[in-house]
Structure 1
Amino acid sequence: MKYIIEKLTAENESALYVIDGENVQSKRIGSLRVKAMKLALASFSVHTGKVFFCSSVPDVSSNSFYEKNIKLLMQEGMTTLVTTAETDFSYNVNSSIKRLKHALISSPADYSIGIQAPCSRLTPELVKECNRHRVPFIRFSATCREDLLRIPWEWIRDANYLFRLVFVPDFQKCLPDKARLKLLKEWEILANEKNIPYCGEFQDEKELSATFLKKTGLYPVKGTFHSGSHADYFLSFAHSPYQVPEVAVIRGRIVYIRQNGWFYKGFGKEIKVRQTGRFGFQSPPRV
């Protein structure tokens, strides 16, 4: 179904958006000549759907997980979930991803899956396998600079040349703040020296940055609201000082209503990334 909604842009201008099926078809500031129904949303404010990271997805589909974790995140405006499948070896990548997909079979929100691995398991073989399955990022843990230096980054860079998945550090669990910040700085220097695509740390059950979305290829399909993106948005009361989602819409379909706590189980689908870094970085020349 084609319809029109009115939403404020980043420049605080009122714009009209044409929603056609799952996607935002077009945007226009001012009048719009389109044969479509315009939704009466005078009592509501329209906000772009958010992308959250959540690492606590159980191995099997769990009603309690959806009732607690997912519903709480949707109450904060989440329309897309990013999570990780844990693996230690390259030959386990496919089975780990399949197991996590099965656990997310009832998800009302769309989702994207990365890989979680200790730094000792970062090998060219693991990267090649992740590239083969179009995994957008690897989240890895380390405890000291020596852990980072033991990784064969030159070989990993060559194995990662075509798809360019992103490496995300996860130093929060094993290091105090001062040591963690120092290691993060050393990691950034190393990644820049070795031409390794990287992104900063992110916290569990928090919104992901636009930088991460651009580098991993989720943008411009997710985390934004313009022509060609998915029609992901939520409505909050216009008179409320808080952006509390009353209704959440994913790919043009209502999936969550706060008043009665309803959400559309099983509507979410995996967002497959065709190519990472289309907006986040440029591929270096291969030598």
Structure 2
Amino acid sequence: MYIIDRANVYSEEEECIKTNSFYIKNNAIHSIKPAIFKTPILKMDVSSFIMTPTHVMFDSHLPSENFQLLKQYSKKNYLLKGCHTIITPFSIHYEYQFDQELHKKRISLLNSPVDYVLALRLPIKTLSQSLIRKCKKEKIAIILVEMEDESSISKIPWGWIREAMFPYNPILIPAVLSNKEAKRKAIIKVWNEVLNDEKIPRLVDEIQEKTPITVKNLKKFGLYPKRGDLHIGGEINYNLYFKNKIVAEQKGIHYDNDRLAIMVHKGRVITSENVVVFRPGCGEEIIINRTSLFV
């Protein structure tokens, strides 16, 4: 038992910093108070830092064939950036590849030092009712849909897709293959018009690589509050940033050029400034049982 005392916790949703103290018991957050706990147990004063939940990032280029490459890649892109959960897709071109590619992806992540959520990436022409049912069965809650032009969107029987998605409702994410900005905008515009009319669960835009995913999208994916929130009963997953390295702006706090002081995952210190404790295979697959619970 111990207390994380006087933590300056940044709330992304409210775009403000609140001071709270966390009572930690049995390796979980037992209670949270805005005031100081008057309890004669060990206290860890973190008032000189900014505290956030650990980040979740999307990465479709995770190396898996070389352990040393994976180690350096994970340190640089996740562990030194306060990220201990990634969303990473396996790709198929045809439906019959689903089971094999899913199995290969899971095997490739056995040495992962971070937790992970599996997603599916496929061309829009491959999207079908039976494939959606496979995703529901395997609890694949995130599907990236590749598109080269807007005309392909109208060719999909979205009404049948919507029926197949219910009640699990995987979230569809647009993945535009064109490099032309005007073309990309045209595809995204049609994507949102059609899927909004059909009431299909989706993201309105593409997802950025290696960038902290917003709480809004974590809620859509069904990852919140397991990730992206510090709450009673939750795991002890948090980042501490040096205050003098934080840049506060009207729309939030930017961490791109900030030095991470500490990242803690499940109560263990993973990163301390530039020193990383690399634990291959400690990453676990996070299964999403239902999407959009808090949307």
Normalising by structure 2, we get a TM-score of 0.86
Amino acid across the alignment from 2:182: K
Amino acid across the alignment from 2:4: I
Amino acid across the alignment from 2:154: L
Q: What is the CA–CA distance in structure 2 between the aligned matches of 1:124 and 1:228, rounded to whole Å?
A: 37
- In the TM superposition, residue 180 of structure 1 has moved relative to its aligned partner by 0.6
Paired residue for 2:201?
197
Q: What is the CA–CA distance in structure 2 between the aligned matches of 1:101 and 1:168, rounded to whole Å?
A: 21
Q: What is the CA–CA distance in structure 2 between the aligned matches of 1:86 and 1:26, rounded to whole Å?
A: 42
Paired residue for 1:26?
31
Where 1:204 maps in the other structure, the secondary structure is coil
Paired residue for 1:184?
188
CA RMSD, Structure 1 to Structure 2 (Å): 2.2
Where 2:31 maps in the other structure, the secondary structure is strand
Alignment of 1:1-287 (within 5 A): 2-6=1-5, 7-9=7-9, 10=11, 11-21=16-26, 23-32=28-37, 36-60=41-65, 62-171=67-176, 173-199=177-203, 200-241=205-246, 243-280=258-295
Amino acid across the alignment from 2:82: G
Q: 1:243 to 1:227 in 2, by over 3 A?
A: farther
Q: What is the CA–CA distance in structure 2 between the aligned matches of 1:67 and 1:197, rounded to whole Å?
A: 36
On the 8 A contact 1:145/1:183 being kept in 2, the answer is yes
Q: What is the CA–CA distance in structure 2 between the aligned matches of 1:267 and 1:247, rounded to whole Å?
A: 18
Amino acid across the alignment from 1:184: I
Q: 1:240 to 1:210 in 2, by over 3 A?
A: closer
Gaps of 5+ in 1: 281-287
Gaps of 5+ in 2: 247-256
Q: What is the CA–CA distance in structure 2 between the aligned matches of 1:112 and 1:44, rounded to whole Å?
A: 29
Where 1:75 maps in the other structure, the secondary structure is helix
Where 1:264 maps in the other structure, the secondary structure is coil
1:76-109 residue CA offsets vs partner (Å, 9 max, x unmatched):
2212111111123444333322322222222222
The structure richer in strand per residue is 2
Q: What is the CA–CA distance in structure 1 between the aligned matches of 2:41 and 2:119, rounded to whole Å?
A: 39
Q: What is the CA–CA distance in structure 2 between the aligned matches of 1:179 and 1:41, rounded to whole Å?
A: 48
On the 8 A contact 2:77/2:210 being kept in 1, the answer is no
- In the TM superposition, residue 159 of structure 1 has moved relative to its aligned partner by 0.5
Amino acid across the alignment from 2:185: L
On the 8 A contact 1:236/1:247 being kept in 2, the answer is yes
Where 1:243 maps in the other structure, the secondary structure is coil
Identity score, percent: 24
Aligned residues: 278
Where 2:86 maps in the other structure, the secondary structure is strand
Q: 1:90 to 1:267 in 2, by over 3 A?
A: same
Q: What is the CA–CA distance in structure 1 between the aligned matches of 2:8 and 2:201, rounded to whole Å?
A: 33
Q: 1:176 to 1:163 in 2, by over 3 A?
A: same
Q: 1:67 to 1:210 in 2, by over 3 A?
A: same
Where 2:32 maps in the other structure, the secondary structure is strand
On the 8 A contact 1:256/1:264 being kept in 2, the answer is no
On the 8 A contact 1:60/1:99 being kept in 2, the answer is no
On the 8 A contact 2:168/2:291 being kept in 1, the answer is yes
Q: What is the CA–CA distance in structure 2 between the aligned matches of 1:164 and 1:60, rounded to whole Å?
A: 33
Q: 1:224 to 1:206 in 2, by over 3 A?
A: same
- In the TM superposition, residue 42 of structure 1 has moved relative to its aligned partner by 4.8
Q: 1:260 to 1:32 in 2, by over 3 A?
A: closer
- In the TM superposition, residue 38 of structure 1 has moved relative to its aligned partner by 1.9
Q: What is the CA–CA distance in structure 1 between the aligned matches of 2:100 and 2:21, rounded to whole Å?
A: 44
Where 2:245 maps in the other structure, the secondary structure is coil
